[in-house]
Amino acid sequence: MKSQLIPIKDLSINEKSAMYSLLSTYFQGVKLDVFNADLNSKNWVILLKNKKTEKLQGFSTLLIYDSNFNGENFSVVYSGDTIVEPNAWSSSSLSRTWIKSVNQLRLEYTQNNIKNKLYWLLISSGYRTYRFLPTFWQEFYPRYDVKTPSNISELMMFLASQRFGNYYDPMAGVVRFPHPHQLENRLKGIPKERLEDPHINFFQQQNPGHMEGDELVCLTEISEQNLTLSGERMWFG
């Protein structure tokens, strides 16, 4: 697959149509107006296409913005709709492109103040997305083996309340949208053997409504120092 990072405003009508079609193929409850509203609220998108046919095989929308909490200025990258065709799940194209793209945007958005931190605000209704965190980042929350520090918990609640309003349940730590995207039945659920992974088992316990589309709010800092060895290979590779 080939990948590209482009501004939302530069998407063609055909690309937008292909994105909606791909999302609708693998998720239930996808409404065109909701899809368009979500897309228009983002400012960047990563597209994954077949090298030969140019067919869209995956995408991930991004919103990069600045924020302030408790006197600290920082930047945030929020992941929106994300999908990769199941036959391409074994490919590392999305994760590699995502990390490289966010690093590129990090340099652009923090160039006026390079000391600004960049946080990744992730909401996850699927264990595959949540598993991205321990694979590539050393410190992230929530997690099974470390209690979320109070300052991080407060920051997560602030960002989630700011972004999702009444759809966010701070007690449960999840977002419940009125029209949630749910995976098609054949893709739903967590295979029993995957629950042996403590991260995935934790995700199921922390987000028991994931099959109905509940999204677990997660946070990590995007920095070289926070990368795992796998993350370093993506970042520097």
CATH number of the domain where residue 114 is located: 3.40.630.30
Q: Give pLDDT, residue 115.
A: 59
Which of 10-14, 161-165, 184-188 has the least mean pLDDT?
184-188
Please state the domain count of the chain: 1
Work out the pLDDT band at 200, boundaries 50, 70, 90: very high
Question: Out of 67-81, 157-171, 183-197, which region has the weakest mean confidence (pLDDT)?
Answer: 183-197
- The whole-model pTM stands at 0.90
Verify cis geometry, omega within 30 degrees of 0, for the bond prior to 149.
no
Q: What is the mean pLDDT of residues 144-152?
A: 97
Residue 131 domain boundaries: 2-236
Q: Which of 66, 60, 14, 70 is nearest to 39 (CA)?
A: 60
CB distance 73 to 116 below 8 Å: yes
Mean pLDDT taken over the chain: 90
